[in-house]
Amino acid sequence: DLGQHLGHLGQTLKDQLPTWWGGLGTWTPPGTPVGPRPPEEADVVVVGGGVVGWSVAYWLKVLERQRHGMKVLVVERDPTYSQASTVLSVGGIRQQFSLPENIRMSRFSASFLRNINEHLGVPNEPPIDIQFQPSGYLFLASPQGAARLEATVQLQREEGAQVALLSPTQLKEKFPWIDTEDVAVASYGLEDEGWFDPWTFLNALRRKATSLGVYSCSGEVRGEEEGGRAGYPPPPPPGTSPSQPFPPPKKTLQIHMPDSLEYQPVACAIVINAAGAWAGKLLEAAGLPGRLCQPPLPIQPRKRYVYSWHCPDGPGLACPLLVDTTGAYFRRDGISGNYLGGMSPPEEEEPDPGDLSVDHDFFQEEVWPRLARRVPAFESLRPRGAWAGYYDYNTFDRNGVLGPHPKLENLFLAAGFSGHGLQHAPAAGRAVAELVVKGRYESLDLQRLGWKRLVEGEPLEEDGVV
């Protein structure tokens, strides 16, 4: 009848209209960018829309000298976050590090997460619940590693962290499901340690930063061109009133649209490399002269597996995130006898990071035997699944690289955290934002985590990389 014919005609017309034409159509032309196109100019471009990049963007807007005075753009090449380190992690936070800067960042981040709604709450939206599980971390040390663990705990206590040292007898009393053979001492975090939901935290940062005026787009930064006036001064010192928040644009980034040959040039004054596992490759792709790439940024993608299993007789609700003497780790996942865990492979057996496929034999041959030896109940566990994610691995000393590039005054770095980027993102984001806006660190002094140590060949070793 006429109604049916009109309905078919309407649907046909709708199918022919592009999705972006008034939002009416259903057809997406090839090469159409996903989401908004980037603006042609920005004061600051943050490359990398993971939790570190969004933290930097958030703090830039919080600290800006005048409201709406700074145009900040976050560029993320993977809008689905299907390969993002943030959402593929196990979500841990701990105070138990061996480097003072890492302990201080953890303490800052723990306070931030404890008061997350004061920082990231958006008016008229539901409160944020990152589902924090305060079950602590438990590090086990063999006789060979006991003295080092004890010295590290002393440092953690000096920095204000609440950490207990347990003898094998005390360990067995507290956690009777542990086999204490070959354990000389254990350290157990008493507060501000456990795990939380990374996806909820990332979305809270994005939502708050966007509400403060941060722009975002999907795309990949593949190169840059010099432009504008060279040799401009750094941002003016605090207390001054600049005529504009930043110098005239100097760089033009090429942001390539997803699934398209198109790219959008974006002129900007400052670039912040928060590209995680690809931070080193991003610097190479910038087309800088060789002298500006020395020493190279030693950050590589390293693939890490996370395995899931079920064991109804396993550790109960008091189960912490346990790090064994062998490097294997696990934690509880919910309340129904499910667990997550894994371990880092030896340096000479690093898996190919070309994709995120999972080696299930690695669990059967390497991880499971170690865990079953430590927790006898795990001898009868049932594997449930697995996934892989990336560490932004700093091959130099496994610590983050923060602050300005030594030869490019308008390029800042925030990458290389080697597995602890999620928990240090609030502190690292604030620190880099302080350098950009105020020209110096104010909350935490993280100068030792700068590029200088790479130039001088003096690593800052961190024992607590899991």
Per-residue pLDDT of the chain (466 residues; tens, 9 = 90+): 555 555 565 555 455 444 444 444 544 554 444 567 788 999 999 999 999 999 999 999 999 977 778 999 999 998 888 888 888 899 999 999 999 999 999 999 999 999 999 999 999 999 999 999 999 999 999 999 999 999 999 999 999 999 999 999 999 999 999 999 999 999 999 999 999 999 999 999 999 999 999 999 999 998 766 543 333 334 444 444 443 445 545 788 888 887 777 788 999 999 999 999 999 988 887 666 666 667 789 999 999 999 999 999 999 999 999 999 999 999 999 989 999 999 999 989 999 999 999 999 999 999 999 999 999 999 999 999 999 999 999 999 999 999 999 888 799 999 999 999 999 999 999 999 999 999 999 999 999 999 999 999 999 988 888 8
Burial of 111 (0-12, 13-18, 19+ CB in 10 A): middle
Residue 338 lies in a domain: yes
- Rounded to whole angstroms, how far apart are CA atoms 32 and 261? 10
**Which of 365, 394, 423 corresponds to the end of one domain?**
394
Looking at the fold, whether 402 and 290 belong to one and the same domain comes out as yes
- Rounded to whole angstroms, how far apart are CA atoms 160 and 173? 26
Looking at the fold, whether 434 and 368 belong to one and the same domain comes out as no
pLDDT value at position 244? 43
Residue 382 lies in a domain: yes
Looking at the fold, whether 284 and 206 belong to one and the same domain comes out as yes
pLDDT value at position 20? 41
Sheet holding 185-189, edge to edge: 163-166, 185-189, 137-141, 321-323, 329-332, 338-342, 299-310, 382-394
CATH code of the domain covering residue 431: 3.50.50.60
pLDDT value at position 1? 58
Looking at the fold, whether 116 and 197 belong to one and the same domain comes out as yes
Q: Which residues contact 415 (CB under 8 A, 6 or more apart)?
A: 48, 52, 273, 274, 275, 276, 279, 297, 299, 392, 400, 401, 421
The tokens for 219 are 């795309």
Looking at the fold, whether 200 and 294 belong to one and the same domain comes out as yes
Looking at the fold, whether 106 and 204 belong to one and the same domain comes out as yes
CATH code of the domain covering residue 151: 3.30.9.10
- Radius of gyration in angstroms for the set of CA atoms belonging to the chain, rounded to a whole number: 24
pLDDT value at position 225? 62
Q: Which residues contact 161 (CB under 8 A, 6 or more apart)?
A: 95, 96, 103, 106, 107, 189, 192
Looking at the fold, whether 324 and 450 belong to one and the same domain comes out as no
- Start-to-end CA span in the chain (Å): 69
pLDDT value at position 465? 84
The tokens for 35 are 């989401």
Residue 15 lies in a domain: no
pLDDT value at position 408? 84
Looking at the fold, whether 352 and 445 belong to one and the same domain comes out as no
Record the pTM: 0.87
Residue 357 lies in a domain: yes
pLDDT value at position 4? 59
**What are the CB-based long-range contacts (under 8 Å, 24+) for 107-115?**
107/159, 107/160, 107/161, 107/192, 108/426, 108/427, 108/430, 108/443, 108/444, 109/423, 109/424, 109/425, 109/426, 109/427, 110/192, 112/426, 112/427, 113/196, 113/201, 113/426, 114/192
pLDDT value at position 285? 73
Question: What is the number of structural domains in the chain?
Answer: 2
Looking at the fold, whether 293 and 423 belong to one and the same domain comes out as yes
- Tell me which residue range forms the domain holding 450: 35-133+192-222+249-298+395-465
Residue 6 lies in a domain: no
pLDDT value at position 65? 75
